[in-house]
Structures are given as structure tokens and as C-alpha cells.
Amino acid sequence: MNVRDPFGTHRKSALSILKTTASRAAVDLTERAVGASINAIEKGKQAVDDFDMSFTVPKHVPSFGNPQRIVEDHVWGSTAVARGGKTSSQSNKNAGMLGGVQDRVGGLFDNRNTLPMYKDKPYAYPASQRARPIWRRKRVLGFAILLLLLLYYFGAFGRHHDTVVSSTPMWAWLTAGSESGKTANWVQRRERVVEAFTLSWDAYERYAWGYDQFHPVSKKGEQMAPQGMGWIVVDALDTMILMNLTSRVTHAREWISNSLTYDQDQDVSTFETTIRMLGGLLSAHYLSNEFPDLAPLAEDDPGAPGEDLYLEKAKDLADRLVAAFDSPSGVPYASVNIGKYEGLPAHDEGGASSTAEATTLQLEFKYLAKLTGEKYFWDKAEKVMEVVDNNGVEDGLVPIYIYATDGTFRGNNIRLGSRGDSYYEYLIKQYLQTNKQEPVYLEMWDESLRGVRKHLVTYTEPSGFTIIGERPDGLKGSLSPKMDHLVCFMPGTIALAATGGLTEAEAKKQPTWTKKNEADMDLARELMQTCWGMYKWMATGLAAEITYFNIANPPLPEGAPHHPPVEFDAGPEAEWRKDYSVHAMDVHNLQRPETVESLFYMWRITGDIKYREWGWEMFRSFMNHTAVPEGGGFSSLSNANKVPPVMRDNMESFWLAETLKYFYLLFSPNDLLPLDKIVINTEAHAFPRFDMGQLFSTGWKRKPRDANGKMIK
């Protein structure tokens, strides 16, 4: 997990970010006023058009191929307006010399039992609107024009216009009462997740097929490369396999076979392309072979010409990405040109790579090495871990930037949010991937978790929630009580590390179970509650991108007495709400998966039903507040702390690849992808655990450390 920015739009200087932030805040305020005035003008224009009875082609023509329209047509066909009832005829009487012309013209082209072309304002608009005296209509129009001129004078026009949509539930089941706990029908709830996925996928397929980005509100797509990278198709592929969506997998596979090429002169993010594209292809290969009854395709059968399609595409992509590792230190460059096989340093941060990005490639390249027997994939990925560790950082906590030129860190900023997070995640997952045959990664994980407890964990006031803060000026600097939503991968990862993927009950029976494991599970539970509070605090029930907390000065050390409430009081003035704070520029929700990811791990490992219930409540919030009308699917939010929320008009690929997949697994039986048999990469792509065999081994050893983890020279 890391900052999701495959197009590099967020890699700007602090000054440019400050300027953008300030201008965005100003534009947001003015755009709302402009939107209101434009709406008034449109209404005024409609009144004038009604009076003149002039025929104009509507700007926004609905999709006539949308299945939703068929249902609406049926309802419309049964109304008095569609049958030419009293309201319609009365309107024609008031139409003057051209009365009925629109209906006659429309009758040449339209079935009267279908919705009018201009769906928002049917031809038979309410008679009360048409009967208004003209002087009233002119006054409304004049006032709107005056307001518009004033706004224009003050420079209120912005280029981007976020969309506010109604939060009225689009599905009946959202308003119906639901059972809770053990009496709930979890199979049925899982089917709701499948419905959400198919709605999202079908909207993408209808409006932006093959594109790398999908804008569900405006219903269009964009590419990040001239011929596309398969950003959404490949990332979502293994989710469809798990959900047994055979026809959709068939379509995706055909596109990958016939249209996907990586032979393009294009710079891409080494990290994002590895975890999403390489990871997605490898996971699809694994699932289609290990579970042939899930979305079965003849093309994948042994001996079929396309049997190894996913693996062949993965190998081709990896051969291009591996050029990023050709740096003086072995630390990969931030970007790579996949057509020229050339690694490229970052454009900012003095050319330094993100530490998390450089150290979150290992699961993918090691699994590919195992599948192909190409040891250089393994060696390239493994070398990075040695270089990072040889810096000898204190207590296992690494700064968030590292130079590819010499392998040293840039700056002292330490955090488990963006650019730091998945370094720690992949320590324990590398240990598990090779069936615990590389203890060096367990040692590094344990050292890092001790460092987290010592330097980053504290408790909030007045309620005593457990948080993981940041040290932007290094371990000697002050603790910032800031948590990215990305940090919420930690509860699940801590629980996974403590039990190895077994249930907690099974793990406690093992001779290796210790008081440390017990304490780690307690920490995982406390952090899980804090992350859930991020959702409960927001108006939509969907967490902000960043949350701040109220803490003591100086911060309480890890282990200090703290007694957070068991439940979150729903009252707006509840005491626990004082512990949380969200800044105005952090209220966006990007459909991120980290919290539901941890809920999935916590449910599987502890068996506590509350984690499933929290997940179901979260899923309902996504359905209530991120659904796009008229079959658009789902969108991320610009403001998740108001109802109705403001939409960003973007569907993140990890909404399909991660968030909905984790909801699906959370509501599934535990034997689907058992945690003691697989390892899941940071983009939720599943790989098998495996033995290294004779070809592979850990090719490096740690240098001696003192009690604080510093290297002994």
C-alpha cells in the first residue's frame, strides 16, 4: 500500500501543492454559487422555451441501451402523461398557434410509451410551470443573469465542477431492516457485493471499455498510455474470477489477448505497474489454475493455445519493469519506460525513490521467478532489501525516501502512511510467502513493530483510542497525531504476523505462541477500533483520506493506561468525537480498501462477528453515498463529510481490485483463499505460498545490530 498516484499528478513541490490547495478551496466556494446561478438560468431558459414553444435538441441525451431505462419506460408508459391524458391536452390548449406541434413532431420518431428524450424535463412538464405569468419568468431570469454577472466580475468561474448527488437509497434493501450477527444471511450479503461489482464493471464496460481511467459521472474514459495499459481490466480480473463472473472474465481475457501490449514508448510508475498489472496477471494465472471451476474458460485448460496467456503477459511486462533496478545501488528507479527498457529517476525529491515503492515489488518478482525459473527476477528484488537494511536505521523505522544512486535515505520523515506503509507490510509477507524459510524478514518485522510501539504509538484524549502517529523530523523530533487512511492496513497485518494466518484459537495452541503474540493481537484490536472510528466520525460513514487526533503533550507512551469506549455513541455531541479531527482539505474519500482489508483479516483470525458487522455497515455507506445515478457505477468523493456528498467523478481501479474483493471475502466462508495457504499483495492480488527449493535462497545476511537496531561498525 502506498499513495495511489500512477499518473504522477501528486508529485509536486510543496509550494505548488500549497498553491493548488488554496486555489481549490477558493474555487470550491465559488463553484457552488455558480452552480446555483446556472441552475436558475437553466430554469429561466426552460420557462422561455415553454412560452415560445420552440423545439430544441436536448444537451444530455440518456443512454437508450441502459437496462435501467427499460424498467423506467414501462413505468412511464402507464402514466396519464404518456397516454395523452388531461395534463398533456391542457398544456396544448395553452400553447397558442403552435399548440401540439412538438407532440406531432415527436410522434414521428418516438414511441409514446417510452420516456421523452429529455428525461429530466418531459414534454408535458407540470402545467403550473407553464401557466406562470411571463413577468414572473422574466424576473427570475433577470435576477439569475445579474447574479451571474456579479460572480463573473469577481472571477468565480472554475474549470472543474464536482457533482452533488442525492443520497436517496437506490436499492430497496438499503432501507429495509437487516438481521445482525450470527442470524444474518452472509451469503445474501455477499451477493450484494457481487451486484455492486457488476454494476461498476458494466458501467465501465459500457462507457469506457479498455481505458485506464473511468469517470462514472461524466461517463467517459481516459488513457495513461497511447494504447492503454489495461489499468482497470487487469486489476479487476482476479476479483471477477473469485466471483465466478464467467462472461465478464471472457470479455476481459479477449481484450488482454487481442489488445493489450506493453510495447509502447511510455513512462510508468515502477511500483504501481508492478502491484496492479504484474500482480493482477500473476494472480489471474494462479487462480485460473488452482481453482479451475471458478469462471471456467476452455482457453485456460491444460494444452489449450492460450493456457499461459496471463503468465506470458506477466513475463513480458516484468522484462520491461526490471530495467528500473539497473541503478548504481540496485534500488529501483521510481519510473521506467516500458518501450525503451529504461529506468528513470523521480522528477522530485532530488530523484529519490519512495522507500515503500522500492520495497513493495518483492512478492511479485519472487513469485514470477518461481513460476519461470528466471532467478534474476528474484535476485534483483532481493538486493533492494539488503541495501535498505544496510543503512542500519534505529529501531527498524525507515525514512520514506531513498536514493537509487547510492542506496542511502533522503531526509528523516518516518511514517506508516504514504511512501512508508507497505515496506513494513512486505517484511512479514515475504516471510510467509516462502513458507517461513527466510527468517531474516520476520526478524526485521519484529524489530520494526517494536519501533512502532516505542516511537509512534500513543493514545488520544479524552477517550483513549490507540493511534500510530508520524515523526516528520525523525525519531528525535515531535510526534504528529496524524493518520492517513493508508495506515489502517496495520491492524490486519499485525494479526496476520501474530498468527501466521491461522485462527487465533489455533495459533494459541502452538508451542511458538508467546506473550508478545498476545500483546500484538491486543494492539491489532485497538487499532482496528480506531480505524473504524474514522468511518463513524464522518457524515457519510465513509472515512476521510487523513484524520488527526487530540493527544496529550507530551504524548502518552505505549502501554499507558487507556480505556476507550466499547461502542461509538451516535450522538453528534458524543464525547469520543472530541478525539478525532478532519481538516477541510482531507475530507475526500477515494474508495480505499485498507480498513475493510483489516476487517477481513481480523474476522478470519479472531472470529469476532463485530468485524463482519462493521464491514456490512461500511458497505451500506458506500452503496448509499457513492452510487452514480443512471447506471454510472460508483465514484470516489470530494467531500465525504456532507450529505449528500460531493463526487470526484472517478472510479479508482482498486475499488474493483481491492475494496469490493475484501468485502466479498469478508462475507465468504473461510475456506475461500485460506490465510495459511496464500499471501495477498498490497493490491489484493493473491499468490500461493511456496517452498524455495534448490534454485532459490536468501542471498544476504544482516549485519550485527545493537539493542536499538543500529548497526555495529
Provide the annotated active-site residues: 545
Our separate counts of H helices and E strands in the chain read 25, 20
Rounded to whole angstroms, how far apart are CA atoms 667 and 190?
Answer: 5
Residue with the three cell numbers 477541510: 584
SS3 132: coil
| DSSP states along 540-561 | TS---SEEEE-B-SSPPPTT--
Of residues 364, 455, 445, 361, the one with CA closest to residue 404? 361
Q: Work out the angle at residue 472's Cα, subtended by the Cα atoms of residues 468 and 476, and round it to the nearest 5 degrees.
A: 90
Long-range contacts, 152-160 (Cβ 8 Å, 24+): 154/30, 155/30, 156/30, 156/31, 156/33, 156/34, 157/30, 157/34, 158/27, 158/30, 158/31, 158/34, 160/27, 160/31
State the distance between the two ends of the chain, measured CA to CA, in whole angstroms.
33
Cell of 333: 528507479
> How many of the other CB atoms lie within 10 Å of CB of 17?
12
How far, rounded to the nearest angstrom, does the alpha carbon of residue 272 sit from its chain's CA centroid?
Answer: 13
Q: Which of 212, 191, 172, 198 is nearest to 67 (CA)?
A: 198
Distance (Å, rounded) from C-alpha 709 to C-alpha 435? 25
Describe the crossing of helices 362-372 and 421-433 by its angle, rounded to 10 degrees: 30
| Residue of 353, 340, 379 whose CA lies nearest to 269 | 353
Residues 6 or more apart whose Cβ sits within 8 Å of residue 420: 355, 356, 398, 400, 414
The rounded distance, in Å, linking the Cα atoms of 710 and 702 is 11
User: What is the rounded distance in angstroms from the CA atom of residue 445 to the CA atom of residue 552?
Assistant: 28
Contact partners, residue 9, CB within 8 Å, separation at least 6 = none
Of 328, 239, 314, the C-alpha closest to 277 is 314
Q: What is the largest CA-CA distance in the chain?
A: 98
Q: Is 257 exposed, middle or buried (0-12, 13-18, 19+ CB in 10 A)?
A: middle
Distance CA 536, CA 167 (A): 17
User: β-strand 401-402 against 627-628: which pairing, if any?
Assistant: unpaired
Residues 356/400, Cβ–Cβ less than 8 Å:
yes
Q: Cell numbers of 409, please? A: 535515505
Of the candidates 421, 422, 442, which has an alpha carbon nearest to the alpha carbon of residue 430?
Answer: 442
- Three cell numbers, residue 388: 535498505
- DSSP bridge pairs for 547: 483
**What cell was used for 196?**
455492486
Q: Which residues contact 1 (CB under 8 A, 6 or more apart)?
A: 356, 360, 421, 422, 425, 486, 489, 594, 682
Q: In sequence order, what are the beta bridge partners of 213?
A: 222
Is there a contact between 276 and 231 (Cβ–Cβ < 8 Å)?
yes
